[in-house]
Amino acid sequence: MTPFRSRATRLRRTAVAFSGLALAAWALAAPGPAPAGSGAATPAAESAPSMDRYLVEPEYRDLVATLVKEHGFDRAQLEGWFRDAKLIPRIPKIFDRPAEAKPYAEYRTLFISPKVRRLGASYLKENRPMLDRVEADTGVAATTVAAIMGIETKFGNVKPGYRAFDALNSAFALYPRRRAFFRKELIEYMLLCREEGTDPFAFNSSYAGALGMPQFMPSSFRAYAVDFDGDGRRDIWSSQADVAGSIANYLKVHGWEPGGPLRAEVLLNEPQARRFDRGHKVRFPLRRLTGAGIQAPAFLGMDPDASVSVVSYEDTGRTRYFVIFNNFRAIMRYNTSVNYALVAAELDDYFRGLS
């Protein structure tokens, strides 16, 4: 079996990543979603406008023209699909209150709980042979895969409540700030449905149009989802092998270093904090930290020129400082929030401690 020779690699080697959208489990089902399942009804409309008034707008005429001229779709069929789509006015409101904007101490409680730890322990035990194969093929630790699955859908226990086409189309129509992004994702979604031989209304998703247990945007599905179980399908909804393989493939493509650390907690005095606590975007070589007397076990054996950053958060009246490494940044390509990657690292630590 060659699990990572997916159609994604043949069709497209680059794709739009999550671009900072909060796609984790808390927002899969906003208040009042329909039951999960293919073709489930859209959540109740809040005086939802008709699509007829949007289809005459320039952005829709341009979108339809692109799908027809560049991708070979039938215009009448496209217009029929768009007319049948339901606009969901609550979606822009969700975008404007992302969980990732919360303080870390509050954010982590959304994802780290005794239940998630129990589910993760069971997942690792029940899927160990498959996860060992994923780790051997990608270098991505099974515990990291488990951490991301725990955050995204609590190992499949949080179900999506929107039809994906409705969610993506609502974001395109009703959220001008991210219209270019969702235009691209709508096109990717239409191509994905054609490739998979699926009706556009068959897939359910998060409020942002993220799909399956890994919560891949359509572009990420096309680029990084893999058929790890070898059955000819990239089933990120129900195949544990495809889900784990796809998450690991995403991290591998985005620079995962096998065996590398995620982050290391360090103690900084006030002058060191002023000098180094500059956030994840400010990078410098590790030797600048060690040269200033800052040490951690994770530094042993590392390249002194390794690129690192320092991030911090307030925790019960004190500031905690963490040096973040390349694998932490790979997780931030999955979701660009530092909070998200810190939760993933914390869950990863817990799952590693089980073995």
270, 246 contact by CB (below 8 A): no
CATH 1.10.530.10 is right for the domain spanning 263-353: yes
pLDDT digits (tens, 9 = 90+) for 193-212: 999 999 999 999 999 999 99
Encode pLDDT of 6-19 as tens digits.
333 333 333 333 33
34, pLDDT greater than 80: no
Which of 20-29, 36-45, 48-57, 344-353 comes out lowest in average pLDDT? Answer: 36-45
Residues of the chain with CATH 1.10.530.10: 263-353
In this structure, which long-range contacts are made by residues 308-311, counting pairs with CB atoms below 8 Å and at least 24 apart in sequence? 308/283, 308/284, 309/278, 309/279, 309/280, 309/281, 309/282, 309/283, 309/284, 310/266, 310/268, 310/276, 310/277, 310/278, 310/279, 311/263, 311/277, 311/279, 311/280, 311/338, 311/342
- Assess whether pLDDT exceeds 80 at residue 47: no
Does residue 288 surpass a pLDDT of 50? yes
pLDDT given for residue 50 in this prediction: 86
Q: What are phi and psi of 240, to 5 degrees?
A: -60, -35
- Give the model's confidence band at 161: pLDDT under 50 very low, under 70 low, under 90 confident, else very high: confident
pLDDT, tens digit (0-9, with 9 covering 90-100), for 291-311:
999 999 999 999 999 999 999
Contact between residue 230 and residue 4 where contact means Cβ atoms under 8 Å apart: no
Nearest by Cα to 31 from 117, 93, 116, 119? 93
Distance CA 328, CA 349 (A): 13
R_g over Cα of the chain = 21
- Does the CA dihedral 143-148-149-154 come out positive or negative? positive
pLDDT beyond 60 at 347:
yes
pLDDT score of 29: 40
| DSSP reduced 3-state for 204 | strand
| Distance, CA of 239 to chain centre | 18
**pLDDT at position 94 over 60:** yes
Amino acid at 14: T
pLDDT confidence of residue 46: 53
What is the model's pLDDT at position 96? 86
Q: Which pair of tokens denotes residue 297?
A: 């076990």
186, pLDDT greater than 80: yes
Assess whether pLDDT exceeds 80 at residue 44: no
Give me the mean pLDDT over the 49-74 stretch. Answer: 95
- Helices then strands, counting H and E runs in the chain, come out as 17, 6
Task: For residue 102, name the pLDDT band (cuts at 50, 70, 90).
Answer: confident
The confidence score (pLDDT) of residue 99 equals: 80
pLDDT in tens, 272-285: 999 999 999 999 99
pLDDT at 28: 46
Domain at 7-98+158-229, CATH from 1.10.8.350, 3.40.50.970, 3.30.830.10, 3.40.50.300:
1.10.8.350
Say if residues 321 and 272 touch (Cβ distance below 8 Å): no
Q: 5 vs 8, 153, 227, 297, CA distance in Å?
A: 8, 26, 8, 37
DSSP state of 177: G
Report how far residue 216's alpha carbon sits from residue 324's, in angstroms, rounded to the nearest whole number.
24
As annotated, the residues of the chain forming the CATH 1.10.8.350 domain(s) are: 7-98+158-229
CB atoms within 10 A of CB 139: 16
- Distance, in Å, from the CA atom of 294 to the CA atom of 70, rounded to the nearest integer, reads 55
pLDDT at position 316:
83
Phi-psi region of 6 (alpha: psi -120 to 50; beta: other; left: phi over 0): beta
What burial letters (b/e) apply to 92-118, b meaning 16+ CB within 10 Å?
Answer: bebbeebbbebebeebbebbbeeebee
pLDDT tens-place string over residues 209-254: 999 999 999 999 999 999 999 999 999 999 999 999 999 999 999 9
Round the average pLDDT of the chain to a whole number and report it.
Answer: 88
Question: Which of the pair, 5 or 337, is modelled with greater confidence?
Answer: 337
The candidate with the shortest Cα–Cα distance to 260, out of 287, 291, 299, 304, is 299
